[in-house]
A = this chain, B = another copy of it.
Amino acid sequence: MSTVVLHAVVSLDGFVAGPDDDPGPLFDWYFNGDLPLAPQDMDDPAPGGLRVSAASHAYVRDAWDGVGCMVIGRRLFDLTDGWQGRPPAGEHVVVVSHRPRPDGWHPEASYTFVDDVAEAVATARTLAGERTVSVAAGDVGGQCLALGLVDEVATDLAPVVLGDGRRFFGHDTGRHLLEDPHVVIQGDRVLHLRFRVRS
């Protein structure tokens, strides 16, 4: 049975991006280290690749390797162009959207478009098998939490105050208690935290 993990890089004041969707300094830690993060960067010395500190690398690489399927909203899909059909973690992506897959968009990619959050998570669980379902923060993530579909919250806390922007869980999720973090790892410009959701 897969675990559903809600993931976000978040500011100290609970934002995952500025009002313009730009994460700005929240993502500094993705680019300030020596170790390439994404598999496709392994043989790619291009400076544009993700390169993180040793502490972050061990944690994130392990987390990403465990992912079988991602669940994202249409906003993130559009912003990243769906990572051109190559998800940063796992082999499958479920996009929560009322609009279908764009015509002719990377027909080979295992991207499924579903217009209901609960159905999206169920589909992702099937696709992930025993591996993790990683749900992106924001509106979709917040809806998953509100519906009781999230097992863990993984927070990469950046030492940044954004002041305003896109909220961690989108709109009001109601109140939820988590366990104390079972992961507390200090990286360079990030503190990796992981909390189980209390059932």
Contact = CB atoms under 8 A, between A and B. Distances in A.
A179 B160 contact: no
B163 A177 contact: no
Copies in the complex: 2
Contacts of A179: 159
Contacts of A10: 12
A177 B160 contact: yes
A39 interface: no
Nearest to A142: B163
A15 B164 CA distance: 13
A134 interface: no
Contacts of A186: 180-181, 184
Contacts of A18: 175
B159 A178 contact: yes
A30 interface: no
